[in-house]
Amino acid sequence: MSESTAGRTLALETSGGVTPAGEVANPRFFHGFLTAPAAAAAALLTVADVAATRYFQPAASASLDPVVTADGDRLRMESFSGCCGVYARLDVLAPGLDGDDVGHGTTNVDISSPLRRALARIGGLDPLQLTVGPGELEVTTFDGRFVEKQVPLPERWLRGFAEAQVLAAGFALRAEIPATEASAFLRTLPRPTLRSSARTTRWVVPVGGRSLRPTSRPSQDAVCLPGPERLLALQQVLRHARTVRVYVPVRAESGAESDAAAVVWEVQLPGMRLTLMLSQNASRGFSGEGGVLHDLATGAAADDADLVSALLAWDPRIDVAELSRQAGLPAGRVCAALTVLGTSGQIGYDLAEEAHFHRHLPFSAGGAEARNPRLRGARALVADGAVRLDGALASVGKGDRAHVVRADDTGRLSCTCLWWAKYRGGRGPCTHALAVSMVRDTTTKAAR
């Protein structure tokens, strides 16, 4: 295994595999057929199309490389857009698979143009066979056999995996509509152009559980569609779908915030689910959201992560209550530990099952600091003795460069720095607030 954060990619190098039965010299994660080949081909193309597209400031495609995970009873294909503002995941569940038992492992493979053309031609009852291993994905159709080799993992994707699962864990179901209605709605959206850059934000209101009605302004019942043309990626798969579920952040569900918000559309397919998550606006990539930083700032979460990692079973669904019981930790600390593990891409979140899942990437959570410059900056401030506490206030920095961090009645921190002025905590804590959290955490532990 190797990990590099100096460049933009991370190598996934494996010489064998770890399974519930122990080490396997030449593992094969899955070999068999997909039971709904036309739907699976369209969904896999959607995941590949997202990886190939840059929705904000469109440019030539740079990646066609979904991450493929075998997780005991299902296969997952995941990708981020070139701008990292769209996350796509195809879950092929047990009813969608006809073949060998599903093993455990992850690889990152290219989807080449010849394979794309073959997938696009699959229709009716044409067979689609997959063989997934640690170093390649083999696809067999009537057009022939295609072997796609392992490629480097974009470094931004690792940060994106961490942030997307933290964000998704705070979502709730808002609407469920027939796929035909969803398709009709998507046809009303503007077509993306090189100039549009998906900058618009629209709002819709679910009507009677059957349709979505456009509205001119946000409201408690409204669903935000940030950069709605990004949803057009779903068009090719909706003809195979039954229903579409729409999820929104809990804070948006309660009407606490009227600004633009991220959204998830989940397409129900025969034996499969296709999930598309849009960032709060097209200019914001998931890799920079900063939602993991609160948990990374505390030493307890890092220590707990080692224990929780050792207890993670091979089940496709992570049971937080069971982990809490085994680890002897409150559920909140287990969730914080999962966030830390998520920084190495090991944890995802499935909204349909309301549960985390394990992604078998060969990276350690110890690299989180290198991938989060705000965290590095906060630790440097603490090491330099630049944090001075004074009740609800704290001074961070020295001389004219010092900033004031204030805690409100709920403990939420604000800062006088430009980062806070620009994002108001919407992209996680600033460096100064993180440093204050670290010092207060250390002070609290010392006082016990």
Asked whether the predicted pLDDT for residue 97 surpasses 50, the reply is yes
Using the structure block, give the residue that is written with the tokens 């620009």.
422
Say whether both 198 and 268 belong to one domain.
yes
Say whether both 114 and 191 belong to one domain.
no
49 part of a folded domain: yes
- Tally of CB atoms within 10 A around 120: 12
Per-residue confidence (pLDDT) for residue 77, from 0 to 100: 95
- Res. 20 pLDDT band, cuts 50 70 90: low
Using the structure block, give the residue that is written with the tokens 């295994």.
1
Q: How many CA atoms lie within 13 A of 302 on its CB side?
A: 13
Say whether both 151 and 203 belong to one domain.
no
- Rounded to the nearest angstrom, the gap between the alpha carbon of residue 307 and the centroid of all alpha carbons in its chain is 23
Determine the average pLDDT of the residues in 16-33.
68
Using the 3D structure, point to which of 138, 155, 172 is the last residue of a domain. Answer: 155
Asked whether the predicted pLDDT for residue 5 surpasses 50, the reply is no
- Domain of residue 105 covers 9-78+87-155
Nearest-angstrom CA–CA distance, 323 and 332? 11
Three-class SS of residue 334?
Answer: helix
Using the 3D structure, point to which of 116, 133, 155 is the last residue of a domain. Answer: 155
What the block records as the tokens of 25 is 């010299």
Total number of domains constituting the chain: 3
CATH of the domain at 53: 3.10.150.10
The candidate with the shortest Cα–Cα distance to 330, out of 301, 359, 291, 365, is 301
Indicate the helix (H) or strand (E) that contains 126: none
Nearest-angstrom CA–CA distance, 446 and 448? 6
Instruction: Please enumerate in sequence order all residues whose Cβ is within 8 A of that of 358, keeping only pairs 6 or more positions apart, or say none.
Output: 71, 312, 314, 316, 318, 346, 347, 348
pLDDT (tens digit per residue) in 118-142: 999 998 889 999 999 888 899 999 9
Nearest-angstrom CA–CA distance, 257 and 302? 31
Indicate the helix (H) or strand (E) that contains 158: helix 155-168
Per-residue confidence (pLDDT) for residue 427, from 0 to 100: 79
Say whether both 113 and 191 belong to one domain.
no
Question: What's the CA dihedral at 66, 68, 69, 75 to 10 degrees?
Answer: 110
Instruction: Please enumerate in sequence order all residues whose Cβ is within 8 A of that of 432, keeping only pairs 6 or more positions apart, or say none.
Output: 378, 381, 396, 397, 403, 405, 415, 417
Say whether both 56 and 178 belong to one domain.
no
Whole-number Cα distances in Å, 168 to 71, 164, 339: 20, 6, 12
- Res. 83 pLDDT band, cuts 50 70 90: confident
303 part of a folded domain: no
Indicate the helix (H) or strand (E) that contains 8: none
- Rounded to the nearest angstrom, the gap between the alpha carbon of residue 26 and the centroid of all alpha carbons in its chain is 29
Asked whether the predicted pLDDT for residue 254 surpasses 70, the reply is no
Say whether both 43 and 114 belong to one domain.
yes
- Rounded to the nearest angstrom, the gap between the alpha carbon of residue 64 and the centroid of all alpha carbons in its chain is 17
271: left (phi over 0), alpha (psi -120 to 50) or beta: left
Measured in degrees and rounded to the nearest 5, phi and psi for residue 288 equal: -115, 15
Measured in degrees and rounded to the nearest 5, phi and psi for residue 75 equal: -115, 145
Nearest-angstrom CA–CA distance, 382 and 366? 19
- Res. 4 pLDDT band, cuts 50 70 90: very low
Say whether both 146 and 196 belong to one domain.
no
**Which ranges of 328-390 would DSSP assign to H, the alpha helix?**
331-342, 373-383
pLDDT (tens digit per residue) in 337-368: 888 888 878 899 999 999 999 887 766 555 66
Say whether both 181 and 216 belong to one domain.
yes
- Res. 21 pLDDT band, cuts 50 70 90: low
Question: What's the CA dihedral at 348, 349, 352, 358 to 10 degrees?
Answer: 40
Q: Which of 113-117, 244-248, 271-275, 419-423 has the lowest mean pLDDT?
A: 419-423
Nearest-angstrom CA–CA distance, 102 and 316? 11
367 part of a folded domain: no
Using the structure block, give the residue that is written with the tokens 């944890």.
347
Asked whether the predicted pLDDT for residue 205 surpasses 60, the reply is yes
Per-residue confidence (pLDDT) for residue 246, from 0 to 100: 96
Per-residue confidence (pLDDT) for residue 42, from 0 to 100: 96
Nearest-angstrom CA–CA distance, 232 and 92? 21
Strands annotated E in 291-366: 347-350, 355-358
